[in-house]
Amino acid sequence: MKIHVTDFDGKEHTLEALEGWRVMEIIRDHGLPIKAECGGCLACATCHVYVAPEWQNKLVPPSLDETDMLDMAVDVKDNSRLSCQLIMNAELDGLRVTLAPAG
């Protein structure tokens, strides 16, 4: 399984992904600059990513808590998600996201 992550310089990185891992954890584990300050407990909005349009409808929709927490992210768009809430599974193989500014 792989995910494709575009960094702040526009460079795309293809990362090995593991079933059951949060997308945030995969990005962090590969050393890309994602802050993810609260470690995945939905308390900080600093693992904000933009999901590629073709993937938006394939993701489990955001919970009310995630939508609320996105209010604490900067430059939120229609395709904004918190990557700590995206759990890898085979259906997400090839997922494409872009790191969002952390503020």
Partner 1 sequence: METASTNYHKTDVAIIGAGPVGLFAVFELGLLDMKAHLIDILDKPGGQCAELYPEKPIYDIPAWPVISGHDLTEKLLEQIKPFHPHFHFGQMAESLEKTDDGWKLTTDTGTVIEAKVIVIAAGGGSFVPKKPAIANIDQYENISVFYAVRKMEQFRGKDIVIAGGGDSALDWTLNLQPLAKSLTLVHRRDDFRAAPDSVLKMRALAAEGAINLVIADIKGLKGDAPHLSGLQLHSREKGDFEIACNTLLPFYGLTMKLGPIANFGLNLHENLVPVDTEKFETSTTGIFAIGDINHYPGKLKLILSGFHESALMAQKAFNYVYPDKKLRFQYTTASSDLHKKLGV
Q: Site residues (CB under 8 A) for partner 1?
A: 35, 37-38, 41, 43-46, 67-69, 71-76, 101-103
Shortest Å, Cβ 97 to partner 1: 17
Kindly tell me which of 52 and 76 has the beta carbon lying closer to partner 1.
Answer: 76
Task: Tell the burial category of 71 from Cβ atoms under 10 Å away from its Cβ (0-12, 13-18, 19+).
Answer: exposed
Kindly tell me which of 50 and 95 has the beta carbon lying closer to partner 1.
Answer: 50
Can you tell me whether residue 35 is helix, strand or coil? coil
Shortest Å, Cβ 72 to partner 1: 4
For residue 101, which amino acid is it? P
Task: Tell the burial category of 41 from Cβ atoms under 10 Å away from its Cβ (0-12, 13-18, 19+).
Answer: exposed
Kindly tell me which of 20 and 31 has the beta carbon lying closer to partner 1.
Answer: 31
Shortest Å, Cβ 85 to partner 1: 15
Shortest Å, Cβ 41 to partner 1: 5
Kindly tell me which of 26 and 73 has the beta carbon lying closer to partner 1.
Answer: 73
Largest CA distance in the chain: 32
Q: Any alpha helices (H) in 1-103, and if so which ranges?
A: 23-29, 53-56, 64-70
